[in-house]
Structure 1
Amino acid sequence: MLHFEDLKVGEKFNTAEHTVTAEEIIAFGRQYDPQPFHTDAEAAKGTLFGQLVASGWHTAAVSMGLMVRGEMGLDGGVIGQGIEGLRWPRPVKPGDRLRVVMEVAGLEPHPVRAAFGQLRLSCRTLNQDGKAVQEMTANLLVARRPA
């Protein structure tokens, strides 16, 4: 498991892939974002997207799962403090294979909690063609190595 002291600005970490299915797009859409382009393949044909697409929030949830299980492996888990500039530059379609590339963008000691450091992590979720489907910068608390 990695601690704050193990990380270096510019260091990159990767995740495994996840293939998004039509069934999971529809299930997530029905529960959390019930718009026709997320819940009904036939109705989606008459929308801006012209087909079934995943909710951006579904993409964010898949990305989070990939990040937590990815090679970064932070001791104490991923403790979010906020997100900057979350964007979805292109839709996720059934059959897309997603992976996340994370880059350490900044490291600072926490001003109050001596047992933690602050990590700025640039995260890009890419599809099978290497095109970004989500981009964000996460601000995280990371455990420092015990004395």
Structure 2
Amino acid sequence: MRYLEDFSEGQIFELGEETIREQEILDFARRFDAQPFHVDPEAARRSIYGGLIASGWHTASFFMGLLVRGLLHDVASMGAGGIDEMRWQKPVRPGDTLRGRLTVLATRPSTKHADRGLLTVLGELFNQKDERVLMIRWSAMIARRT
């Protein structure tokens, strides 16, 4: 199990990669973000995107899946209070292979609670062309060794 003390500024974690499938894009969008360029391949072809693209929220969820499987399953995480910054930088298309990376920006023990601290991180998702499609920055509450 990793605790706050096990992280240091500049540390990089590669989170693995997975391919996003058209059916996954359609299923997610139909339930959560039913805009035409996410749910209708023909309408998407006529859009500024020239084809079907994943919802940005699907892209963020995809990153979270890589993060949990690639790192958080072994971290004493206590949750997060929100996101400081998030940008969808390139469209994600069916068949894209997406690779996740997490960079530690800072660690800070809590001044109020000796058993925890904040881990500030930059999350990134890259496609098979090594183009960054998502960046997300937030602070997570992580338990300290006690």
Structure 2 unaligned spans of 5+:
none
* TM-score after normalising by structure 2: 0.94
Name the structure 1 match of 2:77: 77
CA contact (8 A) 1:30 1:39 kept: yes
The Cα RMSD (Å) is: 1.3
Name the structure 2 match of 1:92: 92
Shift in Å at residue 113 of structure 1?
A: 2.1
Distance 1:122 1:78, change over 3 A: farther
Name the structure 1 match of 2:119: 119
CA contact (8 A) 1:108 1:119 kept: yes
Name the structure 2 match of 1:59: 59
The residue type paired with residue 87 of structure 2 is: R
Q: Structure 1 or 2: larger helix share? A: 2
- Measured in 1, the distance between the counterparts of 2:132 and 2:78 equals 22
1:143 aligned to 2:143?
yes
**1:129-140 counterparts in 2 under 5 A?**
129-140=129-140
CA contact (8 A) 1:2 1:73 kept: no
Distance 1:78 1:123, change over 3 A: farther
* TM-score after normalising by structure 1: 0.94
Name the structure 2 match of 1:22: 22
Name the structure 1 match of 2:42: 42
**Percent pairwise identity:** 39
Between Structure 1 and Structure 2, how many residues are aligned?
146
The residue type paired with residue 17 of structure 2 is: E
C-alpha distance after superposition, 1:21-59 (max 9, x if no partner): 110000001000000110011111111111000000000
CA contact (8 A) 1:12 1:102 kept: yes
Name the structure 2 match of 1:31: 31
Query: What SS does the corresponding residue of 1:45 show, helix, strand or coil?
Result: helix
The residue type paired with residue 127 of structure 2 is: N
- Measured in 1, the distance between the counterparts of 2:79 and 2:71 equals 16
Q: Structure 1 or 2: larger strand share? A: 2
